[in-house]
Structure formats: structure tokens, C-alpha cells
Amino acid sequence: MALSLSGDDEEYDSESEQQRAANRPKPKMGTSSAVKLPSNRTASGARRRRTRCRKCEACLRTECGECHFCKDMKKFGGPGRMKQSCIMRQCIAPVLPHTAVCVVCKEAGKEDTLEDEEDKFNFMLMECSICNEIVHPKCLKVTDATGVVNDELPNCWECPKCNHAGKSGKVLKQKRGPGFKYASNLPGSLLREQKPVKEEGDIASAAKKRSDREETPRYRPEESLHRQPPLVSPSSLPRPRPEDKLRKKRKLFDDEDEDESQRKREKSDDPYFSKLLNQIKTEEDEDAFDEESETGREPHFHSSVERKGHFGDIEEEDHKDKNDLLNPCIKMPVGDSDQSHCSSPQAGPSSEGGSETQEKGLRPKARRKRRLPNRELSRELSKALNQEIQKTEDRLANENRQPVKVEPETENEEPKRFFHNGNEHGEQRPHLKPKEMNGTPWELRHFYPSQITPLGFNRSTPTSRPVPPRSPPKCVQMERHVIRPPPISPPPDRLPLKDGKTHIIQREVWMKIFCYLTHQELCVCMRVCKTWNRWCCDKRLWTKIDLNRCTSITPLMLSGIIRRQPLSLDLSWTNISKKQLSWLINRLPGLRVLKLSGCSWAAVSALCTSSCPLLRTLDVQWVEGLKDTQMRDLLSPPADNRPGQLDNRCRLRNVEDLRLAGLDITDISLRLITRQMPSLSRLDLSYCNHINDQSVNLLTAAGTTTRDSLAEINLSVCNRVTDHSLNFFKRCGSICQIDLRFCKQVTKTACERFIAEMSVSVPFKLKEDKLLQKTS
């Protein structure tokens, strides 16, 4: 929040805040808010308000009309009291206003008139995040210090004066620089914890910080390695691991916790870090890592292997991980590894340790880590996104009931055959408790029927499922948080070489090559050099992010996800919390596919309050606690009882592919679905034991949209479904696949009869036993 912006929070916060609380109620604000801005004023002056860049994806977006702030707007029928911009439109790179001038020469920024990068920098206005002064770097007289450019925010740095005076440290906790409103509200350490470390890129300071706080290590890095995600494989059904004492629920957004664990992890690597630091100091001179020092902070995404294989992975702070990951052949000098990112003095509030790394230069200089977004790409992407939203809305507005083709994400949907970490065999799940859901053995719940073995039907098998992660108790609204910058394909068009020349191959060509790499390989590439690091983070390379069965979702991962802006995100069988999910969804406006199978309802309920306008595929199979009541919450239009709010559209109205396998839902939910999901073309109701012929009747009843839109339905292992259901499917105009495998009450004869009767209009065949498929 605003507090995060005020440079002298320590005093302000601790004292006056409490005092105020005691003196409450205060006389109505009014004068106070406008006139009194002491907390914002530092010795050096007032901070300039920032304004939209008008270029970023967010700025180019249209108002969503759905968020709190939109609803408040007069134009959307609200009272207009909140006066905030649409959450989907929160500028990711707010700029200084045009009226801003250098305090020294009183002139505006002149970088546009210059060609040379160095000149540009010297003549651009830079606002100090500590003293708020706006100057041209070249107008500064200080010669014995360097500024630290905040990479996250245009025209923002810690000026040499402040940096030199060591002021940086004190603001470390709160300040990210002006423009980042609500920053301090970010869940968990996304900004408060992790960002500082990241932006400063300063392990040393982190280490110092850490050493300042006495702590007994409780969290051991190895711990995370021991924790295994739910492990299943078709051949070896999951067995519960013996008690897993390690599975201590991490409150991912609990600052203390995270903070601590992070510290622990850092601590464990201390010697490594300090050694590293030395290397970096020299490394830096040659070519400071720019951008968001991506690699160094990259979350360690565990992921199952899919098309791209292992995704994502750069270590988090676990350096041992890193070493494991690094292909020995590709290992590079430490200084050039991602660690150097960690230590490159990054943006932002910086830090004791970091500042010393920059002592050099005869005039005010800064480690140049400016954000140089590829505007064109960014613009293109936002345009596309906007168009898509518009298109969707139009389509719905027109009530086009044509079955919509499912997006080709389906390739992703093939049953997982591989599980990361490779040690699943015989491993027992850490957090299993003996429990059956919906009368179906846990182990069966992980598979589509194609993987079901007759064995699997032994219902008496003791079963268990993951303990649903505890979510933060209260519903958290994260909408006011700044949306982190989406990845922008970074600038250098060619790879700079040592001799000052550039490599002959252009970035786009490299990108074509990178396309062939797995996410894991990409992460390795990200460690090769700064340029590759930036290129490899291009969101085109990360359209699908798979964290399936990754038991611990850390804030680092979350920010890594946001940065990559995937279209498809698989968080199945993770212990993501509601807060995290909500935070994520709000920052992934372009998300098309969201997989949450096996998560807890507590987490999934984040969907009730967050909006994902482009979501096409929603997978909530085996979500514990997801029943009719919860479905109602999920499918209910956003609650808003203010007058003028008549948006009764369901948040999930654009979903085309809905997976509800293993849920205890009844016709009540189905009725809602038929009403609220006009585009539904694929529906998975397998293992839903309450589903019966009447349910099928509902789905295919006259007047429902599903009747025409439904193309694929999975009713396998729905034991109440009988032959009679097949008659209902005859009235579905678009039906292409009916999966009735393992439905005890469905006979092969009935299927054959169905095929015969349909043959006149739509030729079907039996692809497998009781699996009907259109032939053409």
C-alpha cells in the first residue's frame, strides 16, 4: 500500500500509526488526506505522481467492467467513490508525468532526442525512490557513487546520493519505488520478501538482513526435496507414504514463514553466496544483467513432463538444486550463472551489500538495468488480448450457440505418463489420509478411464487423497494489487559478443530454436548469459506451465508464472492456497486453461471472486469438498447488490471444457451448468456417482445450450447411468464422443443399437468398449 512508498516508514509507521489507531475515530478526513503528506515527503521533497505509460498491455486493455473498481465507476453504474482504475488496467510501468522536470536544470527528459544508450540514460529523468528527487543523471554532481536503477519501474532509481549515503537499506522493507501502489499488499513475500532480494539482486544484503534476525533454523532446504507430490502411475498405484512428518504445511503467504524459510535456504548457502558475490562484482562490470535478473530468482518449478518436458526450472534459492539441474556440459562460469543475477544490484530498494558492488565510475553512473520493453511485441500482445476479450464478449452477446471448437490445448490433456522427480515408484504420498471420495478409490481418480485397470474397481481398496491444503481463513481480495509486469520479450536483438560485436543470429531466429527446447532446457539456457536469460523468458516459450503435483507452490513460483503469462496453467494436486490462486488469476488475464484437479475447495473457491475472462478449460476434478453448494458459488454471477449492478453473467461463462470427474455433484449443479455455460462443448463427469439418466436428460433437454454445444461427454464410471441415457444423446446436435466405459448399467448392446440408429445421420463407432465416437 501507500506505506510501501513512503521512505520513512519506520518512524511514521511504528509510532503514528499506532497512535492514530488509539485516537480513533479521527475527524473525518479531508484536509488530512490532501494537505498532510508528511509521510510521503522526505527531506528532499515530494514525490511526483506517476501516470500511465499508455503502452503496456494493461494500459491498452479495456475496462473489464467486472472488478471492484469498474463496478464503482459511474459508467458501470457505480457511485464513483473509489476512483480507481480497473484492475485489469493497472499500468505495469507507470511513468513520470510530462510535467516532470529535473530539479537541477529544470528541464524535461531528453532521452528521446538521443541515440546513444549512454546519453539516453544521462539525459533521461530519473526519480529517486528514496529522496524522490527527479534529476538527469548527468546533472548530478556526485562523482563518487553510482545510482541503482530500478528495473521494475521506468525512470526510477536510487540516486547516487542516497545510494552512497547508505539510505537504501532502510527502505528495503517497504520501498519499491514510486508508482507501485499497493505493493506492500502483495501476498506473501512476492514483493515484500522476495522482491527486495530479487531486485536488489543482492544476496549479501539478504544474508546480512538474515543474520540480523536471530533465528533457529527450522526449515531445511532438503526438506522440500523430500516432499513428494502425489505420485501415481498407471502401473503402480499410489500408496500412502508412511507418515510424513516433513509435510508441514507451509503458509505460503505467511510472511514470517516464508521469510524464514527463505532465510534458511539462504543461510544454508552462505559460503557459496559470498564466494559468488565476489565473482559477480567483476562480472558485472562487463555486462550487468538487466531485466529482472530472471534466472537467479527463478522458481524451481517441478513439473511433469509434457510436450516440452520438464518445465521451468531454475532453482529457487536452492543452489544444490541448481547444480543438479545444470547439465554438466552446459555449466558456465559461476559469475555468468543465474546467481549473478541474484547478486546484480537490481532495481529497487537496494541494499547495503549491493551498493558496494557499484563503486566505480567518475560520474554518476548506474548499473544499467533498465527495462527496455519490446514495445512492439507488447503492444501486439495487448491488442490481441483485447481483441480476444472483445470477440468473446461479442460472441456471447450474439448468443451464438454453435459448438465452439475446443482449443488445441487438448494435446496437453493426454494422461500424464511421467512424473517429475522420477522417484515416484514405491514412494508414498506424503500427505495422504485414508479417505475415499465419492466412493471411488483415490488411485482411480487420477486417471482417465483409459488407464483404469480392472483392478482399479476394487472399491474396498483403502484409499486416500491429499490432505487439502489449508487456505487462508478469510476470503482475500487481491484486486488492488499491482499486476506484475508480464514478460516482455527483451530487447537485444542480437547476442552481444566479447569483442564488442554481436552474434550473427538474430533473436527471432534464436527464438525459433528455443521453441524446440523443453522448459527445463530453457531454464538451463537462461543461465548461459544475460541475453539468453531474457530471451528464454519470452512468454511465447511458456504458453503452458505445468506444476502438476508440485506440492509446494512458493511465491517465487507464482511470480515466475506471472512473468511468463502462460495461456495454460496446471496446478493440479498442488497445495496452492486460495490467496495464491486468487493472486495468480487476477494477474493472468489471458489464461485459457486452468487445471486445479485434486486441489482443495478452499483454494478453488478463489475462482468465486476472481475473474478469468478468457478461461476456456477448467479442470476441477477430484477437488475435495466441491459439491453442489460449491458449484453454485462457482457458477454464480459475481455478487453485487449495489443498484445498477445487473451483471448476472457467470464468471466462467466462456468455459468450453469443464472437468468435474470425481465430484459429488448432482443435477442441481448440472442445471446450473446448462444455464451458465453456453459454450460448453466438453464435459467430464466421470466418477460422478450421483450422475444418472436424469442428469443426461437435463443436459440434453430442449432449450438448453448444452444440447447443441456438447460435443464430448465423459460419463465413464458413472454407475447410475443406464442404457436409457443413450436415447437422450440422440438429440444432441454436435455430439461426437460419448464415453460410457465402465458404466455398469450400460450394455454393449445398447451402444450398438445407438450406433445403428444414428447411422442414418451421424455415423458412430465403438472405439472401445462403450466408448462411442463419431467416425467422420
Binding region for DNA (CB under 7 A): 1-3, 5-6, 17, 20-21, 24-40, 47-52, 54, 68, 72-75, 79, 81-86, 89-91, 94, 97-99, 178-179, 181-182, 185, 187, 476-480
Residue 464 burial by Cβ neighbours in a 10 Å radius (0-12, 13-18, 19+): buried
Question: Please, how many CA atoms are within 13 Å of residue 211, restricted to the half-sphere of its CB?
Answer: 9
Quote the least distance from Cβ 63 to DNA, whole Å: 7
In the complex with DNA, the residue whose CB is nearer, 290 or 479, is: 479
Q: Please state, in angstroms and rounded to a whole number, the distance separating the CA atoms of residues 588 and 87.
A: 12
Residue 279 burial by Cβ neighbours in a 10 Å radius (0-12, 13-18, 19+): middle
In the complex with DNA, the residue whose CB is nearer, 93 or 677, is: 93
- SS3 per residue for 186-212: CCHHHCCCHHHHHHHCCHHHHHHHHHH
Quote the least distance from Cβ 32 to DNA, whole Å: 3
In the complex with DNA, the residue whose CB is nearer, 51 or 279, is: 51
In the complex with DNA, the residue whose CB is nearer, 465 or 587, is: 587
In the complex with DNA, the residue whose CB is nearer, 52 or 494, is: 52
CA 774 from chain centre, in angstroms, equals 38
In the complex with DNA, the residue whose CB is nearer, 25 or 422, is: 25
Quote the least distance from Cβ 263 to DNA, whole Å: 18
Quote the least distance from Cβ 397 to DNA, whole Å: 22
Q: CA angle at residue 257 from 251 to 259, to 5 degrees?
A: 130
Quote the least distance from Cβ 198 to DNA, whole Å: 20
Angle between helices 667-676 and 628-635 (to 10 degrees): 10
Indicate if the alpha-carbon torsion angle 123, 124, 128, 134 is positive or negative. positive
What are 765's strand-pairing partners?
Answer: 773
Quote the least distance from Cβ 553 to DNA, whole Å: 18
Residue 369 burial by Cβ neighbours in a 10 Å radius (0-12, 13-18, 19+): buried
- For residues 742 and 452, is the Cβ–Cβ distance under 8 A? yes
In the complex with DNA, the residue whose CB is nearer, 16 or 423, is: 16
Instruction: Provide the 10 A C-beta neighbour count for residue 411.
Output: 10
Q: If DSSP codes are grouped into helix, strand and coil, which group holds residue 224?
A: helix
In the complex with DNA, the residue whose CB is nearer, 185 or 559, is: 185
Quote the least distance from Cβ 179 to DNA, whole Å: 5
In the complex with DNA, the residue whose CB is nearer, 185 or 303, is: 185
Quote the least distance from Cβ 352 to DNA, whole Å: 24
Residue 242 burial by Cβ neighbours in a 10 Å radius (0-12, 13-18, 19+): exposed
Quote the least distance from Cβ 369 to DNA, whole Å: 21
In the complex with DNA, the residue whose CB is nearer, 33 or 749, is: 33
Q: Please state, in angstroms and rounded to a whole number, the distance separating the CA atoms of residues 725 and 732.
A: 12
Q: Please state, in angstroms and rounded to a whole number, the distance separating the CA atoms of residues 213 and 478.
A: 29
- At residue 526, what is the residue type? M
| β pairing state of 617-619 and 657-659 | parallel
Quote the least distance from Cβ 327 to DNA, whole Å: 41
CA 218 from chain centre, in angstroms, equals 28
In the complex with DNA, the residue whose CB is nearer, 109 or 613, is: 109
Quote the least distance from Cβ 587 to DNA, whole Å: 14
Quote the least distance from Cβ 191 to DNA, whole Å: 11
In the complex with DNA, the residue whose CB is nearer, 577 or 692, is: 577
In the complex with DNA, the residue whose CB is nearer, 3 or 165, is: 3
Instruction: Provide the 10 A C-beta neighbour count for residue 457.
Output: 14
In the complex with DNA, the residue whose CB is nearer, 69 or 542, is: 69
Quote the least distance from Cβ 91 to DNA, whole Å: 6
Count, in order, helices (H) and strands (E) of the chain: 29, 21
In the complex with DNA, the residue whose CB is nearer, 32 or 629, is: 32
On the question of a cis peptide bond just before residue 555, with omega within 30 degrees of 0, the verdict is no
Instruction: Label residue 717 left, alpha or beta by phi (over 0 means left) and psi (-120 to 50 means alpha).
Output: left
- For residues 69 and 86, is the Cβ–Cβ distance under 8 A? yes
Instruction: Provide the 10 A C-beta neighbour count for residue 143.
Output: 12
Residue 399 burial by Cβ neighbours in a 10 Å radius (0-12, 13-18, 19+): exposed
Quote the least distance from Cβ 479 to DNA, whole Å: 7
In the complex with DNA, the residue whose CB is nearer, 87 or 751, is: 87
Q: Please state, in angstroms and rounded to a whole number, the distance separating the CA atoms of residues 588 and 567.
A: 8
Quote the least distance from Cβ 693 to DNA, whole Å: 44
Q: Using alpha carbons, list the distances in angstroms from residue 616 to 140, 607, 767.
A: 53, 14, 27
Which one-letter DSSP state was computed for residue 639?
P
Quote the least distance from Cβ 30 to DNA, whole Å: 5
- At residue 221, what is the residue type? P
